[in-house]
Amino acid sequence: MEIILTPVVVSVISSLLALIIVVVDGVVNNYGEVEIDINNSKRKLKVKGGAPLLQTLSSQGIFVPSACGGRGSCGACKVKVLSDVGPHLPTELPYMSKDEIKENIRLSCQIKLKKDIKIYLPEELFNIRKFKGIVESLKDVTYDIKELRIRLVEPNEVNFKAGQYMQLVVPPYENIKEPTQRAYSISSSPSDKNHIELLIRLVPGGIATTYVHKYIKEGDVVEIVGPFGDFYMRDTNADMIMVAGGSGMAPIKSIIFDMWERGITNRNIWYFFGARSKRDLYYLELFRELEKKWSNFHFIPALSDQLPEDEWTGETGLITNVLDKYLQSVIPNENAKEGYLCGSPGMINACINVFDKHGVKDVYYDKFA
Amino acid sequence: MKMTPKFIRAQENMKPGKITADGFLGGDDRNIVDIIAADEEEFDYLGLDFVQVEKLLRKLMREGLKGLGESIRYDKWEIRIDEARGFLPCPFQDGIFRKRVATVKNLNNGAEIIYSELSIHLLAAHHFLQGKGAKFRLEPTMIKSVLYE
Amino acid sequence: MMYPNINPLVLFFASIFTSNILLTNFLGMCSFISISKDIKSSNGLGVAVTLVTTITTALNWLLEKYIIMPLDLGYLRYIIYIIVIAAVVQVLEMVIDRVSPNLYMVLGIFLPLITVNCAILGVALFMQLRNYSFIQSVFFGLGSGIGWWLAIVLLAAIRKKTDNAPVPAPLKGVGITLITIGIMAMAFIGFAGMINVQ
């Protein structure tokens, strides 16, 4: 008798208690409906509470930039919150300046919606969409850079400024269990409204670049979100001094070809393409052809570590040194100049120093680096 | 070994696919509290000091940056820095770090270590050198060979 | 089945002062020592322990009277008491997370650790051992919880004051804390004789 009674009693008691836990969980973790008030009631959303602000907004078609897909590792999803959502969490503090903390700027991926909230979003954000597209081609342009060309299906048209970037959605694969997003600059020109072209360099161990280099095939369906970013051509008459190497060429190529297509050819453009050796160079013919047709456009590729078999006759040395040399003695002094940079933080800082030395103060660069 | 929620969360974040594709644990199946304790012991045994090692690793990275992606020669080392765009968060959720990787080779004995800005932070703030088999593990004996021989 | 002849209110005050579960019976030390570093979290934990103790003592009394005794399952007593305590702590965790995520993060691992806090199991077992009635059990549980709460807040306050005192290095931290607890226990002995329940 005991042998049956014991497990029965223990199981019944445990099950009853488990039931109570489940019920309490349902009540306590159910935040009900909350209202998001955007830009002082310009737009009001009624949504289901409990999820982070970032995800909730994106499920409603409003895309706050995020380079890490909401994991709290990029600091790009900052939103100004006008109502009280509690003190800053320890996960938000590393990304906030003192001023931002005072103005209650928060990381929208860390704020859980537990009650009605009032926020402020800049106007440009409402232009951002999530696109479904098909991989039209995946070409190797160098040994570690691939050109990914996507034909947009739904919506099938995109409007962006040359120089902006898109966020590619990387679905789960292998032992990566959750989808994530990574930002890549657009290398195609805005005139091609139905396509998005990205240049992606393989980073060893990188979640997104491994996916692109090893798993994507032509014909695959992909999702991208955008456009984002405030790196684009400034509408002045100043000379444009552009420096970018590797996959950093993407926004520069987009800007240059956009200007050519729209007939904005009166400005002088100097594009310095820095690379180590010949195998890092690509699109050389493309730019050299453009140089022949467009007298104000100058293309200067430079190798810093060439191999003997490269038989390179062009400029050599670190790109910052080449830039310095040209600013010193080749580029005419009369005109105002603007700098456009895309590359690693180290290169950008070094170039800013060179620009500063030559009195070029207006320098623009791709900030998500 | 009992792990507080902070360490449990950190260990979760170190699994492959969370922050980096390969994760920070390699093939090691110990939990991170044990890994840290074992490495602290080894540091002690080899006479290494976490603060001194951190200072030197940072200095070498600073010198290496001057090469802008090229190898440079500094003192008895050859250093090269590679950078990628974006940031990596620390698994302990106490900071984000640039994806900056230094490859440092000791020219006297040929020993080489690879570390990132995040590795330096993990070493200094958490005494965590990553699991055995992880690509960016800083083996104490290698640290000693490269930095101090 | 005669319940001891003690007025529940007397029992209530006794369990706070003269039979303080912590300072007289020395149960529930683990989180006592660790959380008493900070007054605010001590307060929070004290409330949590009081709630858990009261609810579980009542629940366990019901289970004891209607299931364990009639079915003669004395050997299952420990298991059943612990299961009840674990479930109640789980529910409390969820409620705290909802009501005050800050407190939830501060208490950290010590919230689930309430489950194995021997003070709570101790109170339940004392209740069974001394054969209290339902009302007596509730007051006993409530009083013991409050007594634990009182003790941890007192210790937190004392630790705050002695934080900057020149304690000899080997005794810093846990060492001096244990000595302090010992002295507090001796102070509470002063209440003895007022009411005697054990």
Dist. CA A143–CA A96, nearest whole Å = 38
Distance set, CA B98 to CA A91, B85, B86 (Å): 17, 8, 7
Dist. CA A269–CA A296, nearest whole Å = 6
Cβ-defined contact of C87 to A20 (cutoff 8 Å) = yes
The 8 Å CB, 24+ separation contacts for B49-54 are B50/B123, B50/B124, B50/B127, B51/B124, B53/B123, B53/B143, B53/B147, B54/B120, B54/B123, B54/B124
Which of the other chains make 3 or more beta carbon contacts under 8 angstroms with chain A?
Answer: B, C
The conformational region for residue A271 under phi > 0 = left, psi -120 to 50 = alpha, else beta, is beta
Q: What is the pLDDT of residues C54-85, one digit of tens each?
A: 999 999 999 888 888 888 888 888 889 999 99
Using DSSP, state whether A44 is helix, strand or coil.
Answer: strand
Question: Mean pLDDT, chain C, as a whole number?
Answer: 86
Q: Which residue of A has its CA nearest to C85?
A: A17
Cβ-defined contact of A346 to B16 (cutoff 8 Å) = no
Radius of gyration of chain A (CA): 26
DSSP A47: E
Q: Could you confirm whether domain A33-125 is CATH 3.40.50.2300? A: no
What would the CATH number be for the domain defined by A239-365?
Answer: 3.40.50.80
Instruction: Write down the pLDDT at residue A136.
Output: 94
Instruction: Identify the residue among A95, A144, A167, A203 best suited for mutation to test binding to B, counting B beta carbons within 10 A and taking the highest.
Output: A203
Q: Which residue of A has its CA nearest to C60?
A: A13
Instruction: Write down the pLDDT at residue C198.
Output: 64
Tens-of-pLDDT digits for all 149 residues of chain B? 467 778 888 898 898 878 888 889 988 888 888 899 999 999 999 999 999 999 999 999 999 988 877 788 988 999 998 888 777 888 887 878 888 899 999 999 999 999 999 999 999 999 999 999 888 899 999 999 999 88
A67: nearest CB among B68, B86, B94:
B86
CB A177, CB A169: distance < 8 Å: no
Instruction: Identify the residue among C81, C91, C96, C115 best suited for mutation to test binding to A, counting A beta carbons within 10 A and taking the highest.
Output: C91
Partners of residue A28 in chain C, C-beta under 8 Å: 94-95, 97-98
Dist. CA B86–CA A209, nearest whole Å = 12
Cβ-defined contact of B69 to A347 (cutoff 8 Å) = yes
Domain that holds residue B26: 5-148
Domain boundaries of chain A, sorted by first residue: 33-125, 128-228, 239-365
CATH superfamily of A128-228: Translation factors (2.40.30.10)
Using DSSP, state whether B100 is helix, strand or coil.
Answer: strand
Partners of residue A350 in chain B, C-beta under 8 Å: 68
Q: By the CB < 8 Å criterion, does A1 face chain C?
A: no
Radius of gyration of chain B (CA): 15
How far does A10 lie from chain B, in Å, by closest CA? 28
Q: What is the mean pLDDT of residues C24-39?
A: 84
Partners of residue C108 in chain B, C-beta under 8 Å: 4-6
The residues in B 76-135 lying below 8 A from A, measured between CB atoms, are 81, 83-89, 93-96, 98-100, 135
Distance set, CA A368 to CA A99, A128, B86 (Å): 20, 17, 7
| Band of pLDDT at residue C197, cut at 50, 70 and 90 | low
Q: What is the mean pLDDT of residues C144-155?
A: 93
A21: nearest CB among C63, C79, C90:
C90
Which of the other chains make 3 or more beta carbon contacts under 8 angstroms with chain C?
Answer: A, B
Neighbours of A354 (CB within 10 A): 23
A318: nearest CB among B68, B83, B99:
B68
Q: By the CB < 8 Å criterion, does A18 face chain C?
A: yes
What ipTM does the predicted assembly reach? 0.77
Instruction: Write down the pLDDT at residue A369.
Output: 52
Instruction: Identify the residue among B85, B97, B130, B137 best suited for mutation to test binding to A, counting A beta carbons within 10 A and taking the highest.
Output: B85
Partners of residue B99 in chain A, C-beta under 8 Å: 203
Partners of residue B6 in chain C, C-beta under 8 Å: 108
How far does B69 lie from chain A, in Å, by closest CA? 9
Residue B36 burial by Cβ neighbours in a 10 Å radius (0-12, 13-18, 19+): middle
pLDDT, averaged per 10 consecutive residues of chain A (369 residues), comes to 83 90 84 87 87 89 81 83 83 85 90 88 85 94 93 92 92 83 91 94 85 91 90 91 90 94 92 90 93 93 87 88 90 89 86 91 80
Cβ-defined contact of C83 to A28 (cutoff 8 Å) = no
Q: By the CB < 8 Å criterion, does A17 face chain C?
A: yes
Cβ-defined contact of A6 to C63 (cutoff 8 Å) = no
A14: nearest CB among C67, C83, C102:
C83
Q: What percent of chain C has pLDDT over 70?
A: 97
Cβ-defined contact of C95 to A24 (cutoff 8 Å) = yes
Partners of residue B68 in chain A, C-beta under 8 Å: 304, 318-320, 346-347, 350
Neighbours of A56 (CB within 10 A): 22
Instruction: Write down the pLDDT at residue B128.
Output: 93
Cβ-defined contact of A6 to C80 (cutoff 8 Å) = no
pTM for the full predicted model? 0.69
Distance set, CA A51 to CA A45, A111, A112, A128, B18 (Å): 14, 8, 5, 21, 19
